[in-house]
Structure 1
Amino acid sequence: MHDIVTDPLYLDVTVNKRSTFEEPIPETHNGFIFVIDGTLLIESHHSNSAQSVTRRQLAVLGEGDRLVAHTSDVPARFLLVAGRPIGEPVARYGPFVMNTQDEVQQAMRDYQTGLF
């Protein structure tokens, strides 16, 4: 390994009921949360609004946002993932993520034939 190019942030967070979790997201990073259990009310400082995100839902965070997540009467668990953009095109289909649709199709063929 030569260096870490995305400066990743990976957190597995559990928030007790009627509690708040806060985490700054660097201005250079893009990020998302994926709710594993419970429901969160996520504040966005970019839009001065709040959004409810529940089990098995994903919410994309703005660049340099500060994550503020509130729980109600039940605890919640979620993943917070963020990193610097890699500056490359992204193509995806199902679980496959590559740079082009042709690469995605090839990865699917490789998987289906046991080469993956």
Structure 2
Amino acid sequence: MSGSTGLVDRVISRVIAGIDSEDGAGVKLKRSIGQRQNMRIDPFLMLDMFSSDNPDDYIAGFPPHPHRGFETVTYMLDGLMLHRDHLGSEGLLRSGGVQWMTAGRGVIHEERPQQEDGLMRGFQLWVNLPAADKMKPAAYQNIEPEEVVEYTSPEGVKLRLVAGALSFAGKNLLGPVKGVTTNPLFVDIALPPKTQISLPLEKDLAGFAYLFEGKAEVAGQYLKLNAASELSRGDQVTFSSGDEPARLLLVAAKPIGEPVSQYGPFVMNTVEEIEQALRDYRDGRLTD
């Protein structure tokens, strides 16, 4: 639909509901994007949400494991998680913090909860890399909660901008994540009751919204809780809340448009490249 400004509002084009799953050493989670190959949103390969106050659901964490060919983004809402990798990088992921890891040619890392009880809640997003960058050197960014750019509108809408650029209410906001190939937009939006916000979104970006608290709508369509709602193309996206507050993620990036060949933690363009990744890992050359 178009508003009085002539801008085209994005609407929900597909809903990918989160399904119960587990990963690592038995961490319970809900997987939406990536639960099947036809449930990706280029360049986003996978989205998991973990949320539990039962330590049995998360305490074993993610023991050392490899990646190649993409980036992993972990956004922690509540809890403490320690990252370590073969490069010697180490980061304590706190509530509100982010880790952005570029696997590139290869990385071996682990993520371990640093709490024995209480709520652990957050997201892990996998972002594809184009063929030209799949074998780039691995890199790691640990973004402290205080580094995430925050803005609260006069109406009380709170934005936490992790990555990308956003123009809103006369402000030009720029997230703290730097130097990533896909240059995605990643924003956490908290809506007070009975409020509305319209955010500009460039036409060539593919994206989705993920509602994880309360109730909200996109251009009059209800967002499903704990689901990735893919957005149609347009100039802007308009979120509104009802009688209760709501909180959601908005994530978008330019599609890569290349074939995807995936085997577990390896994401390349061809089966032959996957076979090479497996040989490299087996022979101890993944991270050379």
Question: How high is the TM-score relative to the length of structure 2?
Answer: 0.30
Q: How many residues align?
A: 99
**Unaligned residue ranges in structure 2 (runs of 5+):** 1-135, 137-178, 282-288
The one-letter code matched in structure 1 to 2:237 is L
Which residue of structure 1 aligns with residue 193 of structure 2?
17
Tell me how far apart the structure 1 counterparts of residues 180 and 268 of structure 2 sit (CA, whole Å).
Answer: 20
Which residue of structure 2 aligns with residue 64 of structure 1?
234
Verify the 8 A CA contact 1:31 1:61 in the aligned structure 2. yes
Tell me how far apart the structure 2 counterparts of residues 52 and 25 of structure 1 sit (CA, whole Å).
Answer: 20
Deviations 1:28-65 (A, max 9, x none): 1000010110111111xxxxxx3101321221112234
Using the TM superposition, give the Cα deviation of residue 27 of structure 1 relative to its aligned residue in structure 2, in angstroms: 0.9
Verify the 8 A CA contact 2:197 2:238 in the aligned structure 1. yes
Question: Which structure would you say has the larger RCO, counting Cα contacts within 8 Å and 6 or more residues apart?
Answer: 1
Structure with larger Rg? 2
The one-letter code matched in structure 2 to 1:78 is L
Using the TM superposition, give the Cα deviation of residue 99 of structure 1 relative to its aligned residue in structure 2, in angstroms: 4.8
> Alignment RMSD, CA only?
3.0
Which residue of structure 1 aligns with residue 267 of structure 2?
98
| Secondary structure class of the residue paired with 1:13 | strand
After the TM superposition, which of the residue ranges 3-12 and 31-40 deviates more from structure 2? 3-12
Tell me how far apart the structure 1 counterparts of residues 190 and 184 of structure 2 sit (CA, whole Å).
Answer: 19
| Secondary structure class of the residue paired with 1:63 | coil
Which residue of structure 2 aligns with residue 85 of structure 1?
255
Using the TM superposition, give the Cα deviation of residue 21 of structure 1 relative to its aligned residue in structure 2, in angstroms: 1.7
Do the aligned partners of residues 92 and 64 (structure 1) sit closer, same or farther apart at CA in structure 2, a change above 3 Å counting? Answer: farther
The one-letter code matched in structure 1 to 2:234 is G
Which residue of structure 1 aligns with residue 208 of structure 2?
32
Which residue of structure 2 aligns with residue 114 of structure 1?
none
**Unaligned residue ranges in structure 1 (runs of 5+):** 44-49, 111-116
